[in-house]
Amino acid sequence: MSAPGSKPIAEVDVSPSCCGPSSDTAAGRPNLVLLGRSLKFLRPHWRLQLVALALTAVVTVMWVANPWIQKLLVDDLREGSSIRVLGWLVLALVGSSLVRVLLSAVQKFVFAGIRERVLLDLRSSLVDALLRKEILSMKKRNPGEVISVFLQDVETMGSLYGDTIVQLVTQSFLFVAVVILMVTLDRTLAVLTLGALMAFAISVKDITRPIQRVSRELQDALADASTAVGEYWKSMAETRLLGAEAFVHEMVSGALDLLRRARLRFAKVVSTVSLCDGMTWVIAGGLIWYGGQKVIAGQMTLGGLLAFWNYMGLSLAPINTFLMFGGTVRSSLGAAARVFELADAGEDEGRGDRGALDFPSRLHSISCRGVRFGYETDRTVLAELDLELRPGERLGLVGASGSGKSTLASLMTRLLENCGGEILLNGKPLRQYRLSSLRAGLGVVQQKPHIFTATVEENILLGRPWASPDEIVLAASRAHALEFIDELPEGMKTRIGEGLRQLSGGQEQRLAMARLFLKNPRMVILDESLSAVDCATADLIMDELYSYFSGRPVIVISHHPSMLKGVDRILALQDGSLRQITLGEAALLAGSRV
> Which residues contact Mg ion by CB under 5 A?
406
Residue among 125, 164, 133, 216 at smallest CA distance from 35:
164
Kindly indicate which of the ranges 8-16, 110-118, 396-404, 578-586 contains the residues binding ligand ATP, using the contact rule CB under 6 A.
396-404
3-class DSSP assignment, residue 487:
coil
CB of 500 to ligand ATP, least distance (A): 28
Closer residue to ligand ATP in complex, CB, 255/381: 381
What part of residues 138-197 is at the interface with ligand ATP (CB under 6 A)? 139
CB of 127 to ligand ATP, least distance (A): 22
CB of 404 to Mg ion, least distance (A): 8
Q: What's the chain's length in residues? A: 594
Q: Determine how many CB atoms are found less than 10 A away from the CB of residue 402.
A: 9
Instruction: Report the distance separating Cα 527 and Cα 559, nearest Å.
Output: 10
Instruction: Report the distance separating Cα 526 and Cα 513, nearest Å.
Output: 9
Let me know: does 445 contact 516? Beta carbons within 8 Å: yes
For ligand ATP, how many residues bind (rule: CB under 6 A)? 11
Q: How far apart are the first and last CA of the chain?
A: 84
Residue nearest to Mg ion as judged by C-beta position = 406
CB of 486 to Mg ion, least distance (A): 32
Closer residue to ligand ATP in complex, CB, 75/347: 347
CB of 347 to Mg ion, least distance (A): 24
What part of residues 347-386 is at the interface with ligand ATP (CB under 6 A)? 375, 381
Closer residue to ligand ATP in complex, CB, 401/468: 401
Q: Print the binding letters for residues 404-443 with ligand ATP: x by CB under 6 A, - otherwise.
A: xxxx------------------------------------
Q: Residue from 402, 465, 489, 551 that binds ligand ATP (CB under 6 A)?
A: 402
Which entry of ligand ATP, Mg ion, none binds 402, CB below 5 to 8 A by partner kind?
Answer: ligand ATP
Instruction: Report the distance separating Cα 577 and Cα 301, nearest Å.
Output: 97
CB of 405 to Mg ion, least distance (A): 5
Q: Determine how many CB atoms are found less than 10 A away from the CB of residue 96.
A: 17
Closer residue to Mg ion in complex, CB, 48/589: 589
Which entry of Mg ion, ligand ATP, none binds 139, CB below 5 to 8 A by partner kind?
Answer: ligand ATP
Which entry of ligand ATP, Mg ion, none binds 38, CB below 5 to 8 A by partner kind?
Answer: none
Let me know: does 497 contact 454? Beta carbons within 8 Å: yes
Q: Which H or E element spans position 366?
A: strand 366-373
Closer residue to ligand ATP in complex, CB, 334/399: 399
Strand order in the sheet with 523-527: 442-445, 523-527, 554-557, 394-399, 569-574, 577-581
Kindly indicate which of the ranges 98-106, 397-405, 516-524, 563-571 contains the residues binding ligand ATP, using the contact rule CB under 6 A.
397-405
Asked if residue 459 binds ligand ATP (CB under 6 A), the reply is no
Residue among 368, 390, 400, 361 at smallest CA distance from 520:
361
CB of 213 to ligand ATP, least distance (A): 34
Kindly indicate which of the ranges 400-408, 458-466, 517-525, 578-586 contains the residues binding ligand ATP, using the contact rule CB under 6 A.
400-408
Residue among 164, 184, 191, 182 at smallest CA distance from 19:
164
Which entry of ligand ATP, Mg ion, none binds 401, CB below 5 to 8 A by partner kind?
Answer: ligand ATP
CB of 428 to ligand ATP, least distance (A): 25
Let me know: does 295 contact 305? Beta carbons within 8 Å: yes
Burial of residue 579 (number of CB atoms within 10 Å: 0-12, 13-18, 19+): exposed
Kindly indicate which of the ranges 143-151, 343-351, 399-407, 513-521 contains the residues binding ligand ATP, using the contact rule CB under 6 A.
399-407
Instruction: Report the distance separating Cα 301 and Cα 186, nearest Å.
Output: 11
CB of 562 to ligand ATP, least distance (A): 16
CB of 407 to ligand ATP, least distance (A): 3
CB of 527 to ligand ATP, least distance (A): 7
Closer residue to Mg ion in complex, CB, 2/380: 380
Closer residue to ligand ATP in complex, CB, 223/408: 408
CA distances from 156 to 180, 215, 336, 505 (A): 35, 11, 8, 41
DSSP label at 150?
Answer: I
Let me know: does 178 contact 311? Beta carbons within 8 Å: yes
Which entry of Mg ion, ligand ATP, none binds 560, CB below 5 to 8 A by partner kind?
Answer: none
Q: Print the binding letters for residues 110-139 with ligand ATP: x by CB under 6 A, - otherwise.
A: -----------------------------x
Q: Print the binding letters for residues 499-528 with ligand ATP: x by CB under 6 A, - otherwise.
A: ------------------------------
Instruction: Report the distance separating Cα 465 and Cα 483, nearest Å.
Output: 23
Which entry of ligand ATP, Mg ion, none binds 399, CB below 5 to 8 A by partner kind?
Answer: ligand ATP
CA angle 373, 417, 372 (to 5 degrees): 20
Find the radius of gyration of the CA atoms of the chain: 35
What string of DSSP letters covers 216-280? HHHHHHHHHHHHHHHHHHHTHHHHHHHT-HHHHHHHHHHHHHHHHHHHHHHHHHHHHHHHTHHHH
Residue 61 C-alpha from the chain's centroid: 39
Binding site for ligand ATP (CB under 6 A): 139, 375, 381, 399, 401-407
